[in-house]
């Protein structure tokens, strides 16, 4: 009998969604502990002293931090449909594109949304180039999902694109792409967000939109300031 699973999370976090999505796809019951990130709990600070971020997976007396690390841990520890492919090359590709999303896509996307002038223009161009790479990857696979016929590691890693991208663009009044562009990604986003296991752990869209609108000044300041 596997020890209990708890997940420390926060409303609206795509990183937390990744962990929830993986647990649900594996059919692993878990307790969600919601944090107020402006007022972090003792539990969070003790469980993730280095980064002090969510998500944190607590599995019995084990602690796992960092969403992509959590994904692999969940995949390897629990029974259920595999999230990463079996073939080493396919695994390396899934990891490559997940890292691409986190390291190459995130910053230009944020700058596209919340900066201005030349910086914004350059960032939007870069963001579209990034989307084009991912569109190409999806088309290459000729399947419903990056993972094939069912949702896998890379689909989950790309959740931000499936759901958050649209909400954030709406909140900022900035549109990266027209309705005609990136048709494969649009179809994929629709498939991902309608999936029965995924839907319940997506944050409510109106609440998410309100959250992004309410915090927009903070984000605009954040992209101006040098890294802490």
Q: Which of 26, 28, 100, 170 binds other proteins (CB under 8 A)?
A: 100
User: Interacting stretch for other proteins, rule CB under 8 A, among 21-29, 60-68, 146-154, 194-202?
Assistant: 60-68
Contact 55, 67 (CB under 8 A): yes
Contact 140, 146 (CB under 8 A): no
* Pick 8 or 68: Cβ nearer other proteins: 68
* Pick 129 or 190: Cβ nearer other proteins: 129
Rounded-to-integer distance, Cα 225 and Cα 157, Å: 27
Contact 74, 183 (CB under 8 A): no
Rounded-to-integer distance, Cα 197 and Cα 226, Å: 39
Rounded-to-integer distance, Cα 58 and Cα 74, Å: 11
* Pick 1 or 50: Cβ nearer other proteins: 50
Rounded-to-integer distance, Cα 192 and Cα 89, Å: 24
Q: Which of 46, 121, 187, 224 binds other proteins (CB under 8 A)?
A: 224
The answer to whether 79 contacts other proteins (rule: CB under 8 A) is: no
- Which positions from 131 through 190 interact with other proteins, judged by CB under 8 A? 133
* Pick 107 or 144: Cβ nearer other proteins: 107
- Cis amide linkage into residue 79, ω under 30° from 0: no
Among residues 86, 197, 205, the alpha carbon closest in space to that of 151 is found at: 197
The answer to whether 73 contacts other proteins (rule: CB under 8 A) is: yes
Q: Which of 1, 39, 42, 88 binds other proteins (CB under 8 A)?
A: 88
Q: Which residues lie near other proteins (CB under 8 A)?
A: 50, 62, 64-66, 68-70, 72-73, 76-77, 82, 84, 86-89, 91-92, 95-96, 99-100, 104, 111, 115, 119, 122, 133, 223-227
């Amino acid at each position: 009998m596997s020890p209990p699973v708890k997940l420390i999370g926060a409303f609206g976090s795509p990183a937390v969604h990744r962990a929830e999505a993986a647990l649900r796809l594996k059919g692993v019951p878990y307790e969600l502990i919601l944090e107020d990130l402006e007022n972090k709990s003792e539990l969070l600070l003790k469980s993730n002293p280095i980064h002090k971020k969510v998500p944190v997976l607590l599995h019995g007396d084990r602690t796992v931090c960092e969403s992509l690390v959590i994904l692999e841990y969940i995949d390897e520890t629990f029974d259920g449909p595999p999230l990463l492919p079996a073939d080493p090359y396919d695994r390396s590709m899934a990891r490559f594109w997940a890292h691409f999303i986190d390291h190459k896509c995130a910053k230009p996307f944020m700058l596209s949304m919340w900066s201005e002038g030349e910086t914004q223009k350059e960032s939007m161009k870069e963001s579209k180039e990034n989307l084009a790479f991912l569109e190409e990857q999806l088309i290459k696979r000729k399947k419903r999902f990056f993972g094939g016929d069912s949702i896998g590691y890379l689909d989950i890693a790309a959740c931000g694109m499936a759901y958050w991208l649209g909400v954030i663009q709406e909140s900022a009044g900035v549109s990266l792409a027209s309705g005609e562009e990136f048709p494969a990604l649009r179809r994929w986003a629709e498939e991902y967000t309608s999936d029965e296991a995924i839907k319940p752990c997506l944050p409510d869209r109106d609440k998410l939109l309100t959250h992004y609108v309410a915090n927009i000044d903070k984000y605009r300041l954040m992209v101006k300031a040098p890294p802490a």
